[in-house]
Structure 1
Amino acid sequence: MPLPTEVRLFEMAPRDGLQNEPGPIVPTAIKIELIERLARCGIRHIEAASFVSPKWVPQMGDADAVMRGITRAPGVVYSALTPNLRGLEGALATGVEEVAVFAAASERFSQKNINCSIAESLTRFEPVLERAQASGIRVRGYVSCVLGCPYEGEIAPHQVASVAKALSQMGCYEVSLGDTVGVGTPLAAKHMLEAVSRAVPMKHLAAHFHDTYGQAIANLYAVLEEGLSVIDAAVGGLGGCPYAKGAAGNVATEDVLYLLEGLGIHTGIDLDEVVDTAFWITQALGRTPNSKVAKAKGAGKLNATQ
């Protein structure tokens, strides 16, 4: 199958990137500026916050303030994770345009992460989907552990397909397939996507790969070859998973953009601006970007000024 001519990049840094950030709570003003910087880079889909209990996810305790504080750019969708009805109501009050729910392809991961089975988690989402649809709000679905689980190991593709199909049938307009642990390899990614795309049309699927073993870019190329055209990424490679020891952050937005530009695939996003944003946010967090592209371009800029 030919590669897609365009790819929609879904920016995860403000939510999935920051939600597990260790240490002090990231100031609301920093989160707002990050979101606005990302929009100025040309990114048109940003997951900005998560309406969950601050007891469980302290970094997302200011979701209301973040959603109300951002200056919304024309043509940009600002979404929020809303795992339950209470979270959805909070998001709706801020004028959210899109929300998301999440399930796992692993029973043990589901129990560890949200204290219920996969079937129970899907049942919990039913009122969220109904309320969102009644309000005219689109819902995106996430499936965790699609290429491996820290507790169960390898996950059968048919398990992923089953959960993805359930989310789609409930009304999720798009299902994002997450390699939460970052253990996937290109052939495994292809096999998984082949199984899922038989249950959910490819145009309604996205890839959400973490880079623990340095395979995320290779895995993304593999699924691009299968016709997938929506990619989740986080500037600077921010993120991680508290339930998966050693799991690195999301694939870096700048690394994905470098790949796509090399393939001649249009995104409408300014790579250099994304790199600048990666350095800005990681400096605010007290470190440097995890991505190869940011480090290479950053070194080039430094050498040019010397």
Structure 2
Amino acid sequence: MAGIEVQTDDVLWRNKKKDTYPGSIIDVEIPKLEQVASKAYKHCRNILEQFKQCCPNSDIQYQYGYPYVGNDTSHHEDALKLAKESDVTIVTVGGKYGWGTSCSTGEGIDSSSINLPQCQEEFLVKLGESDIPFIVVHLDGRPISSDAADKYASAIIEAWNPGEFGSQAIVETILGTNNPSGKLPVSVAYSSAQAPLYYNHSQGSSYHVQTGSPFTRYIDLPHTPRYYFGYGLSYTTFDYHNLQTEKSKIKPFEKIHTSFEVENSGDTAGVEIAQIYVCDKVASLVRPAQELVGFCR
């Protein structure tokens, strides 16, 4: 890492044969990494530190449950025990994004699966089967795809790689100081076997295939995405009314003006990102089944 002095033992660690996380080929990180990173970025706090700062009168505890890759479930019971004793459980899942043999996603680091590793997926199942309410915070360079999170989680925060003040944004969102308004910029599949999967596919293809087959899905999965492009929840709800267009026909290169009303129909202040999609059903060339042509915050 630029600007960090390299110590002798760091050089020795870099050149020696390293341990890997159980069930994976990913190298275990250098032991001092967290300590060195915290020293280099003193203004940054992890999620636990941020919660303690924002909630000084709450009893906030942490328990390690699993690594970010592999199949090591040996710490599940300790984490489940603390979760059962707690009012609210916040579970961080995902991988480590970067470059190198201790990363699980990044340049030159490929996986056949887009789903959570076994050690994380099984823990979410155990939480759900124990009727423990929990919130999932997903951190990675790719979006979350998890059957267990879908089925059991009370909420999912897709945090991506959030940067130096990511913990503040995450904690303020969970506490309700911030009402989320983000929308997905990608389509999220159930499985890598669905790829390629994107929202603006050609008419008559992908999950708009319409071939008349008796099966409208895979035999073991839907054709449709797990989460659609443009999807995103809030602590409130919005209703759309009074959609109007100024004319029903337009000439080539002519503009058409559309208007509608957006109403916050919930009890919480919020921000909505309105999106407009179109579909050309009579073009002489094959056009997308739907196409985002505008959005406004």
TM-score (norm 2): 0.32
Higher RCO structure, 1 or 2 (CA under 8 Å, sep 6+): 1
Structure with higher helix content: 1
User: Which has the greater radius of gyration?
Assistant: 2
TM-score (norm 1): 0.31
